[in-house]
Amino acid sequence: MNTNSCLLQIGTVEVLVVRKPIRNLHLAVLPPDGTVRVSSPLHLMDDAIRTLIATRIPWIRTQRAKFEAQARQTPREYISGESHFVLGKQYRLEIIHGDQPPHVTLKGKNKIILQVRQNSTLMKREAVLMDWYRRELKEISAELLETWQKKIGVQVGAWGIKRMKTRWGTCNQNARRIWLNLELVKKPFPCIEYVIVHELLHLIEKKHNEHFVVLLTKHLPKWRSLKEELNRLMLAHEKWGSCGY
């Protein structure tokens, strides 16, 4: 454990405290198992943190209950008959074996074809599908970024896609760099758009303060319903964790 971190027991709740050169205390309940983490200013003593956290115990319990109630897929084996999601729609996976390079295609309204070589492993089938997911999300995101950068009047320095356990997206304001969670490709298009607008606005306002909310409401008046939909949809198997803002 980092020398600037420690564990505090507050009643039945164990809290990971990470001290940083920041001004304010930040409390988070992290999925998938409800780990409680506090980012604290360097000078704040343990007793002061205990007192502050004690007042938030009901909120912590509520957040943990949400994680436990949220629907999750069973572990994926990437075999014929499994359900997989693309842009919010459910598809049935069909495995086809062939000598051609592995690839993925959508067929009709409800079938996703995964062609792989005979005796392919679970890891290989997963990798092929994830590569396809990444390309799909990259294409969608590139178009949305081009559109919304012009509308908002900002310009990213760089952006990319990666797996993230606790965030749908992140923005490094100083580097002007945005990361998007690969899992977004499974969510409806408006939800992807919401995340991209959300992160682009962090190039203007770093914090989730009143100014940020005003900006978000101006550009996406229905952002609250999109956020609720995004965080309500079925999650991947729990190794992914849950995401949110």
Where exactly are the structural domains of the chain? Answer: 5-69, 83-232
Has residue 107 got a pLDDT over 70?
A: yes
Per-residue pLDDT, averaged over 34-50, amounts to 90
Has residue 165 got a pLDDT over 80?
A: no
Q: In the chain, helix, strand, coil percent, each to 5?
A: 35, 30, 35
In sequence order, what are the residues at sequence separation of 6 or more whose Cβ sits closer than 8 angstroms to the Cβ of residue 16? 5, 6, 7, 35, 36, 37, 38
Has residue 212 got a pLDDT over 90?
A: yes
DSSP string across 209-238: SHHHHHHHHHH-TTHHHHHHHHHHSPB--T
Nearest-5° angle of CA 39, CA 43, CA 48?
70
Per-residue pLDDT, averaged over 217-225, amounts to 95
pLDDT digits (tens, 9 = 90+) for 87-104: 999 999 999 999 899 999
User: What is the third-level CATH fold of 83-232?
Assistant: Zincin-like (3.30.2010)
Has residue 66 got a pLDDT over 80?
A: no
Continuous segment of H or E residues that includes residue 121: none
Per-residue pLDDT, averaged over 71-97, amounts to 89
Output DSSP code: residue 182: G
